[in-house]
Chain A
Amino acid sequence: MDVIFLSASSIAEAVKSGKYSCLEIASSFATRTESMRSSLNTHLHWDFTDIKAQASRQQDRVRTEGKKMPLAGVPVVLKDNICTSAMPTTCGSKILSGFTPPYNATVVDRLIKAGAIVFGKANMDEFGMGSSNENSAYGPVKNPWNLTRVPGGSSGGSAAAVAAGFAPVALGSDTGGSIRQPASFCGVVGLKPTYGTVSRYGLVAFASSLDQIGPISRTVADAALVFDTISGHDPLDSTSTSTLNFSTAANLESSTVKGRKVGIIKELFAEGLDPEVRLCLEAAIALYEKAGAKIHWLSLPHLKHSISTYYILATAEASSNLARYDGVIFGHRTSKNTDSLTEMYQLSRSEGFGSEVKRRIILGTYVLSSGYYDAYYGQAEKVRQLISSDFDGAFSKVDFLISPTAPSTAFKIGEKISDPLAMYLSDGCTIAVNLAGLPAISLPCGFDSKGLPVGLQLIGPKYSEQQLLRGAHWYEQSTSWHQKHPGG
């Protein structure tokens, strides 16, 4: 029974038609996961007994509710910063070791209602802080295409799990590229939706004005299916968009790019772009042009400030969001005798957080502190508006933008971990999208000479997921990159 590389929609149809049972699907994926997950270190929580129980419950529902279950029997791996009441949520951190949330994230409830089976919790950079999945307190994740390489981060476990065939889809979260960049490095599809379209209730906060949950999958159609399932207004999230009334999965098959205006961001095709990545992107652009798309080269002049802006705003928000981890209500508390509450806070947090998290908390506190607030944080808020305005100007001329997802393919494990600034500078292609709250998708567009995947990023105006995914689906179906898998 070879279901491993079936799409999520095919699996759901097979379950609803009775061709396969939920348990048969789960068992096939579980066999593969259990044989390989340790070598890749994709999972922080795995429990096949629980998975079998979920399969049984979903199977009982198929008989009477099948039509309302677009993800019937589909395994979905969840990044471990998405709260699940039935299993631990650690955010890749020692400070939350063993923590089990008292509620599900809204996206989890929506997936379960749609028939999905939660296929464990994925390893990640601690609290979403990282671009390589080397900052997890539970060890790095390895790239299924090359075990000496990083999978990207911070949703590295989710992307590696999908690439390795452990599940057809996963959920990640994206604050500065953390869905798209690992999707690029692992040769899969990753969608960061428009800010506010997917509820953040139950997503452990890193930077509240930037975080979004999104799907990682092997096809654009599956990303659309999962997005349609998890998106929509949530009264539990005060930043949730009031109205969202489109389906992205419908009408993908009739996608065309003839006559569409496509913008190429000049600043992301400049010095620093790997020549082999450039070649793959140029071939993709040529394909769009050959099919009748009108190509326009555009400049976004404030893009050069995006890394500075992001690492001021995101770390400032993180320093506030992570203040709650103090050893009082939940999480790690120091076992040392302490003379004061303050000392207990300091020791608990210092023992529980890893070095990257501490670095970002220190940086975020610094830029908010007296004497520095206006120069750093105040200024970054203004520049954020300028970056957003650059995109508005671009979208007055084109329908969507194209860029590389990352300036390179997957780098070696250990290559950048001791130079934080070098790691931060590798986020330049993705970060501005979060600052502007836009939707963006990464999909595979080739391989370099080392056999490592290259990612193509499409960026659209707010709430343009429907046309963005059509533009992505057209490219995917015009090529065969999505049919390649690690090891064959």
Chain B
Amino acid sequence: MTAQVDQNSIRHVAKLANLSLSEEEVLTLQEQLGNILAHIGEIKQCAESLSPRPEVVLGEVARERPDRVFKSLSVEVALSQAPAKSGTAFLVPRIIDIEA
């Protein structure tokens, strides 16, 4: 049995995930996700009502530490792997339109 997942849903989710999919990929994912969701969708039938409490499973989580300044990466090291940079900044395409 396959769950119904329409192509527009695939495209919408891809947009949310910042992925650009070809039409062939959309078609393939529609079928594959349909099969996967049909299988994992059985979890919706689990009737027990519980509040999710991650600490029950994981123990102490998100432990806090003192708010103290410490030495971190230098600007030079932080920029060293950047695909594009200028001065102390990471270069990216324009994000603000400037009218002439």
Contacts and interface: CB of A to CB of B under 8 A. Distances in A.
A396 interface: no
B97 to A, nearest CB: 10
Interface string B61-88: 1111100000001000110111110000
Given A305-B43, A309-B43, A340-B93, A350 B50 contact: no
Interface in A306-363: 307-309, 311-312, 319, 323, 326-333, 338-347, 349-350, 353, 355, 358-359, 361-363
Interface in B13-32: 13-14, 16-21, 25, 29, 32
Contacts of A346: 18-20
Given A363-B33, A424-B36, A376 B43 contact: yes
Interface in A169-205: 195-196
Contacts of B33: 359, 362-363, 366
Contacts, number: 167
Contacts of B19: 346, 349-350, 353, 358, 361-362
| SS of A interface (majority) | helix
A335 to B, nearest CB: 9
B69 to A, nearest CB: 15
Nearest to B15: A346
A23 B21 CA distance: 50
A380 interface: yes
A195 to B, nearest CB: 6
A292 interface: no
A305 B47 CA distance: 12
B89 to A, nearest CB: 11
Contact of A329 (B46, B82, B93): B82
Nearest to B9: A366
Given A102-B73, A381-B54, A358 B46 contact: no
B100 interface: no
A104 interface: no
A382 B39 contact: no
Interface stretch (A1-9, A60-68, A111-119, A236-244): A236-244
B42 interface: yes
A235 interface: yes
Contacts of A99: 81
Interface residues of B, number: 54
A200 to B, nearest CB: 12
Contact of A376 (B32, B40, B60): B40
A209 interface: yes
A239 B58 contact: yes
B93 A344 contact: yes
A385 interface: yes
Interface string A432-474: 0001110000000000000000000000001000000000000
Nearest to B21: A350
A345 B59 contact: no
Contact of A382 (B32, B36, B52, B93): B52
A341 B93 contact: yes
B40 A344 contact: no
Contacts of B50: 382, 385-386
A195 B9 CA distance: 35
B8 to A, nearest CB: 13
Interface string B33-56: 101110111111010111111101
A330 B82 CA distance: 5
A378 interface: yes
A383 B35 contact: no
Contacts of B46: 305, 379, 382-383, 386
A331 B83 CA distance: 7
Given A349-B18, A421-B39, A366 B13 contact: yes
Contact of B29 (A195, A353, A359): A359
A369 B16 contact: yes
Given A305-B46, A330-B82, A362-B10, A381 B58 contact: no
Interface in A378-428: 378-386, 388, 420-421, 424-425
A328 B40 contact: no
Contacts of A309: 43
Contact of A350 (B20, B35, B65, B78): B20
A365 interface: yes
The 9 closest A-B pairs by CB, nearest first: A381-B52, A333-B83, A330-B81, A346-B20, A308-B40, A382-B50, A345-B18, A308-B43, A350-B20
Interface of B: 9-10, 13-14, 16-21, 25, 29, 32-33, 35-37, 39-44, 46, 48-54, 56-65, 73, 77-78, 80-84, 90, 92-95
22 contacts: A100-B81, A102-B81, A305-B43, A307-B40, A312-B43, A323-B18, A329-B90, A340-B93, A340-B94, A343-B93, A350-B21, A355-B25, A362-B13, A362-B14, A362-B19, A379-B44, A381-B54, A382-B52, A386-B48, A386-B50, A388-B57, A437-B57
Given A209-B58, A346-B19, 11 more contacts: A102-B77, A209-B57, A235-B65, A305-B46, A329-B82, A362-B10, A362-B17, A362-B19, A366-B9, A382-B46, A385-B52
